[in-house]
């Protein structure tokens, strides 16, 4: 037996995966969990980005305007701070 084969055989014995029944059980569990975890990560990243977009859009909509132009960036920063304070209360 090669080193690889010995390592794999020892690992299988250690986790009681030397029978086909246990190997099938582990495969079924892994085959169920991997796609579920992948979808969770992907949807979490997408929703995190969309929440940021929603906040920016809401703040842009609420930003006061002077003579048809947006006000300065520092005023928008103050609006963001106020918005955060209201959201955390």
* Domain edges within the chain: 1-41
**70 Cβ contact partners less than 8 Å away, ≥ 6 residues apart:** 63, 76
Is the pTM higher than 0.85? The answer reads no
Alpha-carbon distances, residue 29 vs 15, 25, 88 (angstroms): 14, 6, 40
The stretch 47-76 carries a mean pLDDT of 63
Among 42, 15, 9, 43, which residue's Cα sits nearest to residue 29? 15
Which pLDDT value is given to residue 25? 92
CB 22 within 8 A of CB 16: yes
Look at residue 71 and tell me whether its pLDDT is greater than 80. Answer: no
The stretch 52-63 carries a mean pLDDT of 70
């Amino acid at each position: 037996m090669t080193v690889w084969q010995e390592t794999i055989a020892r690992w299988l014995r250690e986790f009681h995966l030397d029978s086909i029944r246990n190997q099938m059980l582990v495969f079924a569990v892994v085959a169920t969990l991997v796609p579920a975890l992948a979808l969770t990560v992907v949807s979490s990243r997408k929703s995190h980005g969309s929440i940021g977009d929603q906040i920016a859009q809401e703040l842009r909509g609420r930003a006061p305007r002077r003579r048809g132009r947006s006000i300065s960036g520092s005023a928008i920063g103050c609006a963001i701070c106020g918005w955060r304070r209201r959201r955390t209360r």
